[in-house]
Amino acid sequence: MIFLSATLPNAFEFAEWVAHIHGLPCHMVSTSRRPTPLVHFGLPVGGDGLFLLVDERGNFNPTNFQKLQLSLKNDSSENLKNGSVPTDQETAKDQGNGGMSKKRRIQASIEDDLMRLIHVIHNRQLFPVVIFSFSRR
């Protein structure tokens, strides 16, 4: 198992607990150097592009940030941009019309974006990654 200090602040206690539970030695290895560079990308939902916002040296890229903002402003889907989900009445109304509900269209778009993100990460060999989604969905 590999844990980061941000996720496991009591690493030695955890290692002792694992050793106790399994009755086997558990070795703890730590480093003060970040083995994987920390970089920040922005990928707008329903938008185009993957924008490098902060490089591995901690340098903020204002040009890419502006491009990201512009991409968000140009997003024609208000539901995706502001994160709102249709009410049950809206969903029932859409389904009554025989089409895909707004809620399902939003979900499908999010799934498409996640698959696109995974493909970009794989193609650019950016693993390992930690992804934060700032959405309640």
Same domain, 20 and 55: no
CB 127 within 8 A of CB 121: yes
Same domain, 48 and 110: yes
- The pLDDT of residue 85 is 47
- The pLDDT of residue 79 is 42
Same domain, 77 and 135: yes
- Total domains in the chain come to 2
Q: What range does the domain containing 8 cover?
A: 1-35
pLDDT, tens digit, for every residue of 55-114? 999 999 999 999 988 887 765 444 444 444 445 555 455 555 556 777 787 777 778 888
Same domain, 108 and 62: yes
Same domain, 45 and 69: yes
pLDDT, tens digit, for every residue of 66-76? 998 888 776 54
Q: What is the mean pLDDT of residues 16-22?
A: 91
